[in-house]
Structure 1
């Protein structure tokens, strides 16, 4: 059983095809053992012969079926909460996971800091996306057509603080920078006493489906702390993405 799984995992690398000699070399297994395992995996639909390339195999439909069933059972909020807990334990700041609903963000998972001074919020809370780091991260993931449909050039953007972006053109400039960096920062735009960083969460198809943020009261905020938290948010978002089936390309 273990050896069969080892063979299947080899298909995660390279061009996705393997021959029996490739498997023998990579796993250091006897040729007879590899032949038996390959025959069994092919008979059960886990691997199939590559047309036009005799002796080479690729993954069959069975792993896809299993992966699809696994994806159906995933709960973004539950998985997000687990990752948020891990991130919060590392930095001891408030961590959120949020999704985009038209021009608002909805927090679907939240873990509090243990500090006496911390951000006060709740899972289920809705905020204007353009005022938050998670929201800007999610808006930045939209196509130009989608973004224009939701926030036209003449949109009236609400201000939650004096730092909130209220000009659609300025928001587009900010979103362009976020796309380049792959990270978003909020500088007291939804709360005058709090700044945040956020990173994108992707599903198995690579689509941005959520964002993970870390919120910090200004008394603990600095450029050095921001850089540290950006790295942690990116790591947490990558872990959540992996839980959702996303596989990053090195």
Structure 2
């Protein structure tokens, strides 16, 4: 019972801290409305947060985040390593889809593969990380060229699908990974042999990719809801179509 109460107390405290996201100050009434907590409950938590240095009370009676939260943020930024977050996400995605997965970033008018996990299957898409390629009509190139935060908020994750563009035997699905304030961080991609991707359940692959990119975006600071929404599959012209 005490353990359950302790968890509930922590959850209430975190909800109060979360209420400051997007605003410099909050009144007691605003915090109560945002969190759905009773004002006396909010007040008790604010007293504890104030004593610990996580919030301050301003002269007008409103509350703001304290110096301790800045120290935590500074420590987080100083010790943040993208690889520690991206590689586990790619490894899990490859285990779930049985296909290769990669994370690309934009470098001017090119795309750079920073991290990659190869498929466990014998026949697979294989490439080396750190390869530069054009921002072409591949699914990855389209994400890095066209993805915008407003599209993600307005209609769920966009999943681009391409085949036979970068080479004649590979197909891929890609979606955007966002970070702080909705900035585009990179593209997360699942790729494999064209025939295998064509025969696969694209909805299932898109769902896996959406979930993985959503979780990574949350870790990178994107202001997204905790649960991932739906996805929209956008089929790009294939190399065969473009050649006609």
Residue-by-residue CA offset, 1:72-112 (whole Å, 9 max, x unaligned): 32222331111000111111100001111011111111111
**1:120 match:** 126
Deviates further, 190-199 or 40-49: 40-49
Choose from 54, 57, 77 the match for 1:49.
57
Q: Distance in 1 between matches of 2:147 and 2:164?
A: 22
Choose from 173, 187, 194 the match for 2:163.
187
Q: For structure 1, list consecutive stretches of 5 or more residues without a partner in the other structure.
A: 144-178
Partners of 2:100 and 2:116 within 8 A in 1: yes
Q: Distance in 2 between matches of 1:180 and 1:41?
A: 35
Partners of 2:100 and 2:190 within 8 A in 1: yes
Q: For structure 2, list consecutive stretches of 5 or more residues without a partner in the other structure.
A: 1-5, 150-154, 227-244
TM-score for the superposition, normalised by structure 2:
0.71
- Tell me if 1:109 matches 2:118: no
Q: SS in structure 2 opposite 1:182?
A: strand
**1:238 match:** 214
Q: Distance in 2 between matches of 1:180 and 1:130?
A: 23
Q: Distance in 2 between matches of 1:120 and 1:35?
A: 56
* 1:222-233 matches, cutoff 5 A: 222=198, 225-233=201-209
**1:132 match:** 138
TM-score for the superposition, normalised by structure 1:
0.69
**1:147 match:** none
**1:78 match:** 84
- Tell me if 1:215 matches 2:195: no
Q: CA deviation at 1:181?
A: 6.3
- Tell me if 1:87 matches 2:87: no
Deviates further, 215-224 or 233-242: 215-224
**1:9 match:** 15
- Matched positions, count: 210
Q: Distance in 1 between matches of 2:131 and 2:176?
A: 19
- Tell me if 1:247 matches 2:227: no
Q: Distance in 1 between matches of 2:102 and 2:191?
A: 8
- Tell me if 1:205 matches 2:181: yes
Q: CA deviation at 1:6?
A: 3.7
Partners of 1:105 and 1:135 within 8 A in 2: yes
Q: Distance in 1 between matches of 2:208 and 2:15?
A: 28
Pairwise CA RMSD: 3.5
Q: CA deviation at 1:227?
A: 2.4
Residue-by-residue CA offset, 1:177-225 (whole Å, 9 max, x unaligned): xx99622222211011111111111112210111100002112122762
Q: Distance in 1 between matches of 2:59 and 2:163?
A: 55
